[in-house]
């Protein structure tokens, strides 16, 4: 049987690029999506057209019961998960902290922090040797914002990604003896639609001017790092910056 990878938020951007690349490397891929079924189905169709195996699975990761259902569906349809990629995340409108509503910050933390914790919990239950598993890997998608801070733009987003850094450090030690690696990729500005969803669609066009390498990243470049960490058996607790040098 093929090794199984679950990628949250895999219908577009970094998640979609990772799904396609993972399938090319021999994984059976669960392409999670919240509402954009057409995009997820397109990723699955691309993978299948290339001879790979993939399954689109709807689940809103802001909802615990839907996360549990996601993993149970993968158990039935693909088999026990070997790699979890905590990719799904949100950013919001540019704002100072003193202008942020409670609901905004609450939503940010629920999707960017609580959901990866719950997804990791479900993965560990299946991967850990203490639960009868054979090990595995958890790769979190963080952000360069965690060490830059996001001042006058999105301190809440940066803080949520800082929490993922801390989660990676602690969880990697917690499950290191159970056959599970835990690492984080921290992208800089990448050519995806997340900036438009946060009301800043021009960011990819101007960010290259302040990046030492003189350009923004491409989703496939982040996917390369994710796939490397998924298979880097003696690397755990790492925070890998893929940000052009910022």
Catalytic residues: 157
> Can you read off the two tokens belonging to residue 186?
């921290």
Q: How far apart are CA 5 and CA 74, in angstroms?
A: 9
21-85-77 Cα angle (round to 5): 80
- The end-to-end CA distance of the chain, in Å, is 41
User: If DSSP codes are grouped into helix, strand and coil, which group holds residue 190?
Assistant: strand
> If we measure between CA atoms, which residue out of 140, 136, 97, 95 comes closest to residue 115?
140
160 — phi, psi (to 5°)?
-65, -40
Q: How far apart are CA 174 and CA 238, in angstroms?
A: 14
Q: Where are the alpha helices (H) located in 50-101, listed in sequence order?
A: 64-77
User: If DSSP codes are grouped into helix, strand and coil, which group holds residue 139?
Assistant: strand
């Amino acid at each position: 049987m093929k090794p199984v990878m679950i990628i949250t938020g895999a219908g577009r951007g970094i998640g979609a690029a990772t799904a396609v690349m993972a399938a090319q490397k021999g994984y059976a891929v669960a392409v999670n999506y919240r509402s954009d079924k057409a995009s997820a189905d397109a990723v699955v169709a691309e993978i299948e057209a290339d001879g790979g195996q993939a399954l689109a699975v709807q689940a809103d990761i802001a909802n615990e019961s839907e996360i549990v259902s996601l993993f149970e569906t993968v158990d039935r349809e693909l088999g026990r998960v070997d790699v979890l990629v905590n990719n799904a995340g949100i950013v919001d409108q540019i704002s100072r902290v003193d202008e942020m509503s409670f609901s905004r910050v609450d939503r940010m933390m629920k999707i960017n922090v609580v959901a990866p914790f719950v997804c990791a919990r479900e993965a560990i239950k299946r991967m850990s040797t203490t639960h009868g598993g054979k090990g595995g890997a958890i790769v979190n998608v963080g952000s360069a914002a965690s060490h830059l801070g996001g001042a006058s733009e999105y301190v809440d987003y940066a803080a949520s990604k800082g929490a993922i850094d801390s989660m990676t450090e602690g969880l990697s030690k917690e499950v290191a003896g159970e056959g599970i690696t835990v690492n984080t990729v921290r992208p800089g500005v990448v050519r995806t639609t997340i900036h438009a969803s946060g009301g800043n669609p021009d960011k990819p066009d101007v960010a290259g001017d302040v990046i030492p390498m003189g350009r923004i990243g491409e989703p496939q470049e982040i996917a390369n790092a994710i796939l490397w960490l998924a298979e880097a058996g003696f690397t755990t607790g790492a925070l890998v910056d893929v940000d052009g040098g910022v």
